[in-house]
Amino acid sequence: MRCSSFFGLCFFSVALAMAPSVSAIEISHYLFPEFKEGSILMKNGVVTKALLNYNAATEEMVFMQNDKVLALADVTLIQIDTVYIEDRKFVYRDRKILEVLCSSPYILMAHYKCRVIPPGKPAGYGGTSQTSASDSYSGWSQGGKMYELQLPDDFKVVPYTVYKLQKGSEIKNFTSMGQFGKYYKKKNNLFQDYVQQHKPDFNNQLAIAQLVAYMETNE
């Protein structure tokens, strides 16, 4: 493989967004509590290095350059084969950044997302009303604040995961444990016994990977 400086590649200059400052404190709309040194393997074999993180609010892979947060642009993403952060692997599929949890003989991937709920607006009789998710995203994205590492304390962040299971050309999406149960309905007793015994947390990617591995290798 050939290596080059991450910032030496001209197409990274068209990254989509930036924020005015960065911080190392832990926040919940980023996948990692701080930017991590990672590697990007391009389809042409070039490997680049950068401080990387994943923004679940904007669903973008981002990197830090000169104390600013930049998002990888589409022109870059379509040329990427794999992104490695620590011992974790990410790919770009159907215009989404997905973590590969297992890749043999099936492929189990995780799409990380979150709902950002702004503080309620004053309403009649001393109450408050919540703005819609679209209002929240549009207003905050325009100002670049969705790229800040810490949102105001009165904002609520609700992370969630969509799992994608690929077997051959077929890809199924799962947003709840119940959907996994329906998918394995032909092995219902096996599924129910495993869930009752291990009580896997749907938001624990390792637990879900172990559940799928068990269901795929047992009759």
- Residue 192 domain-assigned? no
- 71 assigned to some structural domain: yes
How many CB atoms are located within 10 Å of the residue 96 CB? 15
Query: Would residue 94 count as lying in a domain?
Result: yes
Range of the domain at 158: 1-181
With contact defined as beta carbons under 8 Å apart, do 52 and 36 qualify? Answer: yes
Q: Which residues of 48-63 are buried (b: 16+ CB within 10 A; e: fewer)?
A: bebbbbbbbbbebbbb
pLDDT of residue 5: 38
Q: Is residue 217 part of a domain?
A: no
Token match 């609700």: residue? 158
In Å, how far from its chain's centre is CA 196? 28
In a domain, 191, yes or no: no
CA 71/CA 95 separation, integer angstroms: 14
CA Rg value for the chain: 20
Residue 190 belongs to some domain of the structure: no
Structurally, the chain folds into a number of domains equal to: 1
Q: Is residue 27 part of a domain?
A: yes
97 is written with which tokens?
């950044």
* Tens digit of pLDDT at every position of the chain (219 positions): 444 433 333 334 333 333 333 333 344 789 998 999 999 999 999 999 999 999 998 899 999 988 888 899 889 999 999 999 999 999 999 999 999 999 889 999 999 998 887 776 544 454 444 444 444 444 455 455 677 766 777 778 888 999 999 999 999 999 999 999 999 999 999 999 999 999 999 999 999 999 999 999 998
In a domain, 132, yes or no: yes
With contact defined as beta carbons under 8 Å apart, do 71 and 30 qualify?
no
- pLDDT at site 136: 46
Is residue 77 within 8 A of residue 63, CB to CB? The reply is: no
Please say whether the beta carbons of 40 and 80 come within 8 A: yes
Instruction: Take residue 53 and report the two structure tokens written for it.
Output: 């993180």
> Whole-angstrom Cα distance, residue 207 to residue 131?
34
